Amino acid sequence: MAARGSHKLTEVPGVFARAKSIVIQAPPAEVYAYVADIPRHPEWACEPMKIEGLPSSSGGAARFRSTVHLMGITNHGEIRVVAEEPPHRFVYECTDTAGHYRWTMTLRAMGTGTELTQSAERLEGPLWVRVIQPWLLWPLSGRRSVVKGLANIKARLEA
């Protein structure tokens, strides 16, 4: 089944937010364990990606460095886990040249499977991103990347 649903988030002026969902025939705990394992994100990401762990401050959140190749551009970022609520919700933030984003994975039991919703919120970004993201970047690349990533998660977990 392809990713479905638009689940448009409540709009906050100046904040870009979108979400997509897919149903996966696996229990929420299994889906959660997979999507919450940041070093495994390159397995399902739509674009070529590299993740490496960074030291976290004592008692601090897990942190990672990411390198993503998107539309011919290499983008370096830093990822920080901000919420872990197994098996229902996992949240991380990424800061890179396109801005500061919050990615939320929300899981809901659905029959014998799980509905996984991935949402992206731009918390900050340069002017050029704020201007073109809603009408150019999301339609041309962002939506496709999220939908394909969700389909990759489904394929791996249902294999």
Domain boundaries along the sequence of the chain: 16-158
- Segment 127-144, tens digit of pLDDT: 766 666 666 665 566 677
Strands annotated E in the chain? 16-24, 49-54, 63-70, 73-85, 89-96, 99-110, 113-124
pLDDT at residue 3 is higher than 50: no
What's residue 7's pLDDT?
45
Which residues make Cβ contacts (< 8 Å) with residue 26, sequence separation at least 6? 113, 114, 157, 158
77-81, 99-103, 130-134, range with greatest mean pLDDT: 77-81
- Segment 16-45, tens digit of pLDDT: 777 899 999 999 999 999 999 999 999 999
Q: What is the mean pLDDT of the chain?
A: 84
Task: Give the integer Cα–Cα distance in Å for 3 and 84.
Answer: 23
- Segment 109-132, tens digit of pLDDT: 999 999 999 998 877 777 766 666
What's residue 112's pLDDT?
93
CATH superfamily of 16-158: START domain (3.30.530.20)
pTM of the model: 0.83
